[in-house]
Amino acid sequence: MNKLKILAGAAAASFAITGCMMTEKPLEKAANDLGIGTSPYTNCSFEMTPNTEEIDIAIINGRVMDPECNFDGQRNVGIKGNRIVLITKGEIKAKRVIDVKGHVVAPGFINTHNHAFSPFDTKMMAHDGITTLLDTEAGVSNAKMFYDKYDGKAFVNYGSGIGHEEVRRVVLDGLSEEDTSDPTYILKARGLAQQDEHASWALDIPDPEQHQQILKMFEQGMCDGAIAVASTVGYMGYGTPTYEVFDLQKLAAKHDRYFGAHTRFGPTESLPTNYTLGVREVVANAVALDGKLIVSHIQNQNWQETYELTRRLQEKGMPIFAEYYPAITGNPNIATPQLLPDKIKNNNIDPTKHIFNPLTGELFKSEEEFFKMQRESPEMPIFIIVRDPTWLKEWPHMKDIVIASDAIAYYDENGELLPIDAPASAYGGHPRNASSNGIVFREAREQGIPLMDIVNNASYVAAKYLSLAGLKPMQERGRLQPGMIADITIFNPETIADAATMKIGERGLYTKGINYVIVSGEVSIDNGEANTTILAGQPIRYEVMSECNIPEIVDLKDKKYQWHSEMDGYPATRFPPRKQNPPSPNDLEAHQ
């Protein structure tokens, strides 16, 4: 196992950490030379000499909080271009001075689980303090198409992994890469694949040739700079063999990328298909491969067990982190495999008790009404109750975990995305998209949870672990330090709170108390108002490989572990037949 020392805040030569706050003494030496943090650029200098020349922005009188250096103190912050250039108690000369007395100045919040990159959705989530949106769960089939599409057009930073279900839709359902290369359209892609009332991407087992096609598309994605190997195997468990998941985790480990997983088995299934068993599948693979792992939205049945498992592995130095979003309802499409007529009861779901009709906001009146909509509009998003409401107050106590949203893009009654300047009341999607951070910060305040714990989860945790995989854009974000990219969220700790509800017209109400959001040095949310003329979002991406030679049979660096590695026909012989029949009595007699 990779015995990396992961430190959220560590003692250094000229700092003394007491409790949850670092004493305010100067540190001239870069912190990465002293063993703090996971970035080569870490710099715990919070007592710098004030500037003599005018810079662009000064944020004054704020409570600066940096989880990596474990710093919490009143400081002024200077920004020049897209960088934080100084943090000091002294006066800063700047073209613009923003007085944020009574507010926290924190690293911009990072959401690793997002499927909505449309203009309105990203603006709405910026109001929730988010400066970076990543999709490490569903992903895309073609990374180049995704990054090219949003180049220079993004309100916040953006990035994606290569997605298992999107690749399977290309290989098994025949969809185009254009239809499967933007998570914003993931539910539409599911609908396209189910026009023949059969979702091959979720229900069919690839043959050996198709398996290689899948691996080759992932290889191309790694060459194109995708940030992760992403899998929603939880939706595809009926057609995804364990060896397919294992091979994708091998591919991720080969490229030193994270494997992000919506794990096998659903949030409501009973034994022997309990959710935590699916978690153990990807954890066991990661341990065997010395790999990196993201466990997506763990807030399902027995989440306490999953949380303990990940925390123990973190303590051992394994590069693994989990996410959660604060909502008791899920937001899949109505024809998600677990809700099909022959499977819904095995998942303990009753449409009249657990699923809300998206057109009325009320529970479905009958199974007939539900299945009729499923046949006619398979891409339709729904709200489904899958969690215990009491958990909402328990989740914020978790440490070293990412606060995510699992945001799904919203389409209006005409099937169109909302324009960036649409009013919040026009939004009809899941309220978690608008207020995940607002919910958690409010709960933390009401329950007396240390503020640094929540700032850490909202900003630094994702940056910390992705930094371990050498993702440079994350080594320069998620930290409120000199030299870092100026992605900053400024909020009032006494008033930050969710405003969105499940009521129609209130689902997109912006989080209260977040008055400024700065993306790459640009003030995108300015005194509570979005400046929609600013599109400062940057790509979060690995460097594109200049050469990408993908062989006919993808090398997963596993040959020496294979029982048949010296046999003729390797590796084609590795795959079991698609259906393995039990032995007949004659077969048994022959081997007695």
| pLDDT one-digit tens code per residue, 242-258 | 999 999 999 999 999 99
DSSP state of 411: B
pLDDT score of 27? 33
What residue spans of 364-481 are helical by DSSP H? 367-376, 432-447, 451-455, 461-468, 472-475
Q: What is the pTM of this model?
A: 0.91
> Are residues 310 and 295 in contact, defined by beta-carbon separation less than 8 angstroms?
yes
Confidence tier at 573 by pLDDT (50, 70, 90): low
Whether 1 is covered by a domain: the verdict is no
As a whole number of angstroms, the distance between CA 488 and CA 482 comes to 12
Confidence tier at 579 by pLDDT (50, 70, 90): low
As a whole-number percent, the residues of the chain with pLDDT over 90 amount to 79
pLDDT score of 563? 84
Q: Are strands 114-115 and 407-408 parallel, antiparallel or unpaired?
A: parallel
Whether residue 25 is predicted with pLDDT greater than 50 in this model: the reply is: no
> Are residues 310 and 293 in contact, defined by beta-carbon separation less than 8 angstroms?
no
> Are residues 295 and 279 in contact, defined by beta-carbon separation less than 8 angstroms?
yes
Average pLDDT over residues 450-456: 98
pLDDT score of 400? 97
> Are residues 287 and 294 in contact, defined by beta-carbon separation less than 8 angstroms?
no
Of 126, 140, 197, which Cα lies nearest the Cα of 168? 140
Whether residue 122 is predicted with pLDDT greater than 90 in this model: the reply is: yes
Record the tokens describing residue 251, joined without a space. Answer: 């591919």
Confidence tier at 274 by pLDDT (50, 70, 90): confident
How far does the chain reach from its first CA to its final CA, in angstroms?
42
pLDDT score of 197? 87
Task: Quick: pLDDT tens for 143-181.
Answer: 999 999 999 999 999 999 999 999 999 999 999 999 999
Whether 185 is covered by a domain: the verdict is yes
As a whole number of angstroms, the distance between CA 263 and CA 274 comes to 11
433 or 589: which leads in pLDDT: 433
Task: Quick: pLDDT tens for 474-488.
Answer: 999 999 999 999 999
Half-sphere exposure of 74 (CA within 13 A, CB side): 9
Whether 566 is covered by a domain: the verdict is no
> Are residues 418 and 412 in contact, defined by beta-carbon separation less than 8 angstroms?
yes
pLDDT score of 516? 98
Whether 98 is covered by a domain: the verdict is no
583 to 393, 398, 577, 578, 591: CA distances (angstroms): 53, 49, 14, 16, 11
As a whole number of angstroms, the distance between CA 107 and CA 109 comes to 6
Whether residue 591 is predicted with pLDDT greater than 80 in this model: the reply is: no
Record the tokens describing residue 521, joined without a space. Answer: 């040095």
Q: Among 28-42, 452-466, 514-528, which is the least confidently predicted range?
A: 28-42
Whether 39 is covered by a domain: the verdict is no
As a whole number of angstroms, the distance between CA 536 and CA 152 comes to 7
As a whole-number percent, the residues of the chain with pLDDT over 70 amount to 90
Of 204, 207, 206, which Cα lies nearest the Cα of 193? 204
256 or 360: which leads in pLDDT: 256
> Are residues 260 and 231 in contact, defined by beta-carbon separation less than 8 angstroms?
yes
Mean pLDDT, all residues of the chain? 90
Task: Quick: pLDDT tens for 40-64.
Answer: 999 999 999 988 899 999 999 999 9
As a whole number of angstroms, the distance between CA 502 and CA 219 comes to 41
As a whole number of angstroms, the distance between CA 427 and CA 186 comes to 18
Residues 6+ apart with CB under 8 A from 90: 49, 50, 76
Whether residue 587 is predicted with pLDDT greater than 70 in this model: the reply is: no
Q: Are strands 522-526 and 529-530 parallel, antiparallel or unpaired?
A: antiparallel
> Are residues 544 and 223 in contact, defined by beta-carbon separation less than 8 angstroms?
yes
> Max Cα separation, the chain?
91
Which CATH number fits the domain that encloses residue 210? 3.20.20.140
User: What does R_g of the chain's alpha carbons equal in angstroms?
Assistant: 24
Three-state secondary structure call for residue 368: helix
Average pLDDT over residues 465-477: 97
Tell me if the bond preceding 272 is cis, omega within 30° of 0.
Answer: yes
Of 226, 229, 218, which Cα lies nearest the Cα of 258? 229
Confidence tier at 463 by pLDDT (50, 70, 90): very high
Which structural domain range is residue 195 located in?
109-477
- Number of domains composing the chain: 1
Whether 151 is covered by a domain: the verdict is yes
Confidence tier at 85 by pLDDT (50, 70, 90): very high
Confidence tier at 5 by pLDDT (50, 70, 90): very low
pLDDT score of 156? 98
Whether residue 222 is predicted with pLDDT greater than 90 in this model: the reply is: yes
Q: How many CB atoms lie within 10 A of CB 392?
A: 16
Whether 204 is covered by a domain: the verdict is yes
As a whole number of angstroms, the distance between CA 549 and CA 252 comes to 17
pLDDT score of 2? 43
Average pLDDT over residues 345-357: 91
60 to 26, 117, 120, 318: CA distances (angstroms): 19, 32, 30, 39
Average pLDDT over residues 108-113: 98
Whether 372 is covered by a domain: the verdict is yes
pLDDT score of 29? 36
> Are residues 452 and 65 in contact, defined by beta-carbon separation less than 8 angstroms?
yes
pLDDT score of 209? 93
313 or 13: which leads in pLDDT: 313
Q: Among 254-263, 267-276, 491-500, which is the least confidently predicted range?
A: 267-276
As a whole number of angstroms, the distance between CA 167 and CA 347 comes to 26
As a whole number of angstroms, the distance between CA 234 and CA 288 comes to 21
Task: Quick: pLDDT tens for 406-429.
Answer: 999 999 989 999 999 999 999 999
Owner of token pair 């975990």: 401
